[in-house]
Chains A and B, each alone.
Chain A
């Protein structure tokens, strides 16, 4: 399946992937409206890590694993692997126990504390190219066939 890969040498630590992700998963899909006016602004599903004030940085995100630790650990069955390979969380089923946060070795599940729901990359079902990949100004994220 196609996955998102990070090229840390190219990452400039601008966090635009996170902005792109938040915008894509907002109600208005408009960054200004999402950041200023949406009461339940989404939280980013990718995480930009930085060291030494940004000298080193990388955007980390879900691998959509073939044998996902998050799925094996999920106590409610909210996490399922789809036929197309995507690993998705059904928020209606999620009880916010954070077992998936405990299990994912990639640190790729976030806690949405306001909603008490787990949150992770869904590869942007409404788009051809995930929003984070599109948003990156230096092509430090790519969307390619791989494992």
Chain B
């Protein structure tokens, strides 16, 4: 079997491991536009801010590609896919045949048309290692930066620049930062923390024009009419599935590449996973892109398994994010800000002064469907597990908001299943050889 994977990030890695778990013989070729081997994309803000060095960037153990016997074609861009001849065509004109193809091309930064942007030097995006390196290279000359977009990537860019002691202003169209993951109280707490640390956050406004002379930026004009002086602009409005190369290929692309629960696209033998894919949502049968790291890994794993002829079920994409701002941890997952709150049972605890917030969202059937934790995020994964397993939580509803919440509040059967061993109970004779210190 001849497997070809386009893209060499987390979705690809999940797929490589899954293929090799089934098929030791087949050839795997990975084609990537970037010149690096797989790296922690979310680490680029840490790199920019000097929290880690380039040595900390690689995502995989050094011998990974050898051990998994992967042919790696770096700095090679796929221009199109010929689904009839089953070949991927490179921008160089060369091509490569495949039996099974995985498209794991991730997202491209979205650049809206902003007046005055085209002719300026210091306009950056922030989604790749090279983006971070470019910003870092000019950072000595940056005094004031404006970050357009208060989502995950924008806030990460702002944090990186702040760590370099640059003055930063984040401009967000919504009424709060991280509007997709947070509700108002959480967004407010985080924005307050950022302001306290010298990042200015402007909400419900947007940049209409980048001002300057020649290639040099002098500032940005906002929709409200305000002018913010700056010399550098980072555009971080979001990413769009990188599926442009599929035009005319016959592969169905909606917002992303539409896939089934095996991550197969509308064309047999072509699969997609990660930020580029549009797969089923955990809570509904609707399909939507879910541009987060863990989902990319999981989808890659499922795609690789299917490509190698086996089967693994997909439970649907579940949004989750863990982000820390100036020592305030935040974790959000699932439904955090329902449009029709009356349809849900929502519990909250707020201690704004101490940057503590908890919000737990149950559906009408008493299942946990979402959580926002700010400050104390310990053991947040227990909530993720309860959501995934669709556990009914009404019997211990009151405990969900307390920081001590744990397995002890759950039915004993769940504890036994998770931490006990089937068929093994206490007391056991001392000579059964399984230790216990006696």
Q: Name A residues whose Cβ lies closer than 8 Å to a Cβ of B.
A: 3, 5-10, 47, 49-51, 56-58, 60-61, 63, 67, 69-70, 72-73, 75-77, 80, 93, 95-111, 129, 133-137, 139-144, 146
28 CB-based A-B contacts, threshold 8 Å:
A5-B419, A5-B424, A47-B406, A49-B406, A51-B409, A60-B407, A69-B294, A70-B381, A72-B294, A73-B293, A76-B56, A95-B40, A95-B52, A95-B56, A96-B324, A99-B293, A101-B380, A102-B377, A106-B381, A106-B385, A106-B418, A107-B378, A107-B379, A110-B378, A139-B426, A142-B421, A142-B424, A144-B421
Q: Is there an interface contact between A8 and B324, defined as CB atoms closer than 8 Å?
A: no
- Which stretch, B259-267, B335-343, B430-438, touches the partner chain A? B430-438
Measured between beta carbons, the chain B residues less than 8 angstroms from A96 are 324
Tell me the complex Cα distance, A20–B46, Å.
35
Measured between beta carbons, the chain B residues less than 8 angstroms from A140 are 426
Q: Which residue of A lies closest to B436 (CB)?
A: A139
Contacts A76-B56, A103-B381 given; indicate if A57 touches B297 (C-beta within 8 A).
Answer: no
Measured between beta carbons, the chain A residues less than 8 angstroms from B329 are 98, 111
Measured between beta carbons, the chain A residues less than 8 angstroms from B408 are 49-51, 56-58
Contact of B377 among A49, A63, A98, A139 (CB under 8 A): A98
Q: Is there an interface contact between B415 and A98, defined as CB atoms closer than 8 Å?
A: no
Q: Is there an interface contact between B322 and A111, defined as CB atoms closer than 8 Å?
A: no
How many inter-chain residue pairs (CB < 8 Å) link A and B?
170
Q: Is there an interface contact between A129 and B435, defined as CB atoms closer than 8 Å?
A: yes
Measured between beta carbons, the chain B residues less than 8 angstroms from A109 are 381
Q: Name B residues whose Cβ lies closer than 8 Å to a Cβ of A.
A: 14, 40-43, 46, 51-52, 56, 58-61, 293-294, 297-298, 301, 320-324, 329, 331, 333, 377-382, 384-386, 388-389, 404, 406-409, 412, 415-416, 418-421, 424-428, 434-438
Contacts A49-B406, A72-B294, A134-B435 given; indicate if A105 touches B415 (C-beta within 8 A).
Answer: no
- Does more than half of chain B's interface fall in helix, strand or loop, or is it mixed? mixed
- Kindly name the residue among B321, B382, B409, B421 whose own CB sees the greatest number of chain A CB atoms within 10 A: B421
Q: Is there an interface contact between B379 and A139, defined as CB atoms closer than 8 Å?
A: no
Shortest CB distance B286–A (Å): 23
Contacts A60-B419, A95-B46 given; indicate if A75 touches B437 (C-beta within 8 A).
Answer: no
Given A6-B419, A99-B294, 12 more pairs with CB closer than 8 A: A5-B420, A7-B420, A49-B406, A60-B406, A69-B384, A98-B329, A101-B322, A102-B322, A102-B381, A104-B384, A108-B381, A137-B437
Shortest CB distance A42–B (Å): 16
Q: Is there an interface contact between A98 and B436, defined as CB atoms closer than 8 Å?
A: no
Q: Is there an interface contact between A142 and B436, defined as CB atoms closer than 8 Å?
A: yes
Shortest CB distance A31–B (Å): 15
Tell me the complex Cα distance, A56–B415, Å.
12
Tell me the complex Cα distance, A99–B380, Å.
10
Contacts A103-B320, A136-B437 given; indicate if A98 touches B331 (C-beta within 8 A).
Answer: yes
Q: Which residue of A lies closest to B293 (CB)?
A: A75
Measured between beta carbons, the chain A residues less than 8 angstroms from B435 are 129, 133-134, 142-143
Tell me the complex Cα distance, A72–B125, Å.
26
Measured between beta carbons, the chain A residues less than 8 angstroms from B384 are 69, 102-105
Measured between beta carbons, the chain B residues less than 8 angstroms from A77 are 40, 58-61
Measured between beta carbons, the chain B residues less than 8 angstroms from A6 are 415, 419-420
Q: Is there an interface contact between A95 and B409, defined as CB atoms closer than 8 Å?
A: no
Measured between beta carbons, the chain A residues less than 8 angstroms from B427 are 10, 139
Measured between beta carbons, the chain B residues less than 8 angstroms from A111 are 329, 377-378
Measured between beta carbons, the chain B residues less than 8 angstroms from A56 are 408
Contacts A72-B298, A76-B59, A102-B384 given; indicate if A139 touches B412 (C-beta within 8 A).
Answer: no
Shortest CB distance A105–B (Å): 3
Q: Which residue of A lies closest to B379 (CB)?
A: A107
Tell me the complex Cα distance, A125–B321, Å.
32
Q: Which residue of B lies closest to A97 (CB)?
A: B322
Q: Is there an interface contact between A8 and B381, defined as CB atoms closer than 8 Å?
A: no
Measured between beta carbons, the chain B residues less than 8 angstroms from A51 are 408-409
Measured between beta carbons, the chain B residues less than 8 angstroms from A3 are 421
- Kindly name the residue among B294, B331, B388 whose own CB sees the greatest number of chain A CB atoms within 10 A: B294
Contact of B437 among A58, A69, A134 (CB under 8 A): A134
